[in-house]
């Protein structure tokens, strides 16, 4: 396993069921690539990237009724369904029957969610399988694969986030009282703020200094416009103090509170602003540039894998929110 990568849940008590001797050769290299490129979010890979991933997959066969993941087990691997039907349940899939062209457990594996999932073959089924450790090594060797997956998942989140309910509030879990009261947020203070965020909680000092040196302090008065819907993105604001009021063109309004990285989603997805943002109260903000953040991910595999896991968890969380009664 590449130094710095997190241990696979499968190595720490996972109850995954693997078919062992039923592992067989099924697909030619070209068929493997075609299979991966038909599957979301892997379909965002280039042909060369898909070939590299395909070389590191294992082919599996499951008999009807065979358990693939036991209920609640955090998966240390994921599957691409090649043939047959698999009944899946859990936070990623809900209660679904997966058929050829579906992924099983990819987001759950990346996010390391403790709830896990359950899966059983409804019919004889064949899959391509890859462990977290192998995928991590693949993405470290080819960082473009990580960025392809990251971009695709973020574009999916952006599509779903556009349906945010009127009056919703984002952020608010984190507080920075000492930063809000500071006359000036120097580099050391910025590093403390970054350390409190989920993205950089596990990052090394070098990674923190790299991003901390690139972010800028901004203070704005209530009523100040931060951007308009349709403006180019490319940067985000970490809200240190205050509240931002956001308006969509359709009239939907929502709020961004302390701790929320406002504008990061569309910036990472390479999309324009999809809402207008105005300071509801006086604001203390830290502005970060998307290109600097991508440079950080390229240079720090552990931070990149952590961030990918958080994005995967965010994708699942939005699906959960959509299922909640309103």
What's the pLDDT tens digit per position in 31-49? 999 999 988 888 888 899 9
292-299, Cβ contacts within 8 angstroms, sequence gap of 24 or more: 292/211, 292/214, 293/211, 293/268, 294/147, 295/210, 296/207, 296/210, 296/211, 297/143, 297/146, 297/147, 298/143, 299/207, 299/210
pLDDT at residue number 82: 94
Q: What is the pLDDT of residue 181?
A: 65
What does each C-alpha distance from 32 to 12, 52, 61, 257, 260 come to in angstroms? 30, 11, 15, 45, 40
Q: Is the pLDDT of residue 263 over 90?
A: yes
Mean pLDDT value across residues 98-113: 92
* pLDDT band (50, 70, 90) for residue 243: very high
The band of 178, judged by pLDDT with boundaries at 50, 70 and 90, is low
Specify whether the CB–CB gap between 318 and 308 falls below 8 A.
Answer: no
* Lowest mean pLDDT segment, chosen from 30-44, 124-138, 187-201, 272-286: 187-201
Q: What is the pLDDT of residue 67?
A: 95
Average pLDDT over the chain, rounded to an integer: 85
Q: What is the pLDDT of residue 1?
A: 43
Mean pLDDT of 314-325: 73
Q: Is pLDDT above 50 for 285?
A: yes
pLDDT at position 212, please?
Answer: 86
First to last CA, the chain: 44
Element (H, E) at 255: strand 253-256
- According to the model, what pLDDT value does residue 320 have? 75
Q: Is the pLDDT of residue 246 over 90?
A: yes
Average pLDDT (224-230) is: 98
pLDDT band at 22 (very low <50, low <70, confident <90, very high): low
Higher pLDDT, 13 or 317: 317
DSSP-derived 3-state class of residue 172: coil
Which domains can be identified in the chain, with CATH numbers? 9-141 (2.60.120.10), 155-323 (2.60.120.10)
Residue 10 has pLDDT above 80, yes or no: no
Distance CA 35, CA 47 (A): 11
Contacts of 26 (CB under 8 A, 6+ apart): 59, 61, 82, 126
- Give yes or no for residue 4 having a pLDDT over 60: no
pLDDT surpasses 70 at 141 = yes
Predicted pLDDT at 189: 82
Identify whether the C-beta of residue 203 lies closer than 8 Å to the C-beta of residue 293: no
């Amino acid at each position: 396993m590449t130094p710095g990568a997190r241990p696979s849940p499968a190595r720490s008590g996972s109850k995954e069921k693997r078919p062992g001797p039923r592992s067989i050769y099924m697909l030619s290299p070209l068929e493997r690539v075609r299979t991966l490129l038909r599957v979301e979010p892997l379909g965002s890979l280039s042909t060369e990237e898909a070939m590299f991933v395909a070389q590191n997959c294992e082919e599996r066969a499951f008999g009807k009724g065979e358990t693939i993941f036991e209920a609640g087990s955090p998966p240390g691997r994921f599957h691409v369904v090649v043939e047959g039907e698999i009944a899946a349940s859990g936070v990623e899939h809900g209660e679904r029957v997966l058929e050829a062209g579906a992924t099983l457990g990819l987001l759950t594996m990346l996010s390391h969610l403790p709830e896990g999932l359950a899966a059983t073959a409804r019919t004889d089924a064949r899959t391509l399988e890859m462990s977290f450790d192998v995928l991590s090594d693949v993405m470290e060797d080819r960082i473009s694969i990580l960025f392809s997956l990251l971009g695709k998942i973020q574009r999916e989140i952006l599509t779903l986030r556009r349906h945010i309910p009127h009056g919703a509030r984002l952020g608010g879990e984190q507080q920075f009282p000492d930063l809000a009261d500071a006359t000036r947020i120097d580099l050391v203070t910025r590093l403390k703020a970054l350390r409190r965020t989920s993205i950089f909680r596990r990052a090394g000092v070098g990674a923190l200094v790299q991003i901390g040196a690139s972010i800028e302090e901004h203070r704005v008065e209530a009523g100040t416009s931060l951007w308009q819907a349709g403006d180019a993105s490319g940067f985000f604001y970490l809200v240190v103090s205050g509240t931002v009021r956001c308006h969509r063109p359709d009239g939907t309004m929502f709020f961004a509170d302390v701790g929320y990285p406002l504008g990061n989603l569309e910036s990472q997805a390479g999309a324009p602003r999809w809402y207008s943002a105005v300071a509801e109260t006086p604001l203390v903000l830290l502005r970060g540039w998307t290109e600097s953040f991508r440079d950080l991910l390229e240079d720090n595999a552990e931070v990149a894998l952590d961030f990918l896991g958080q994005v995967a968890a965010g994708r699942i969380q939005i699906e959960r929110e959509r299922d909640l009664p309103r």
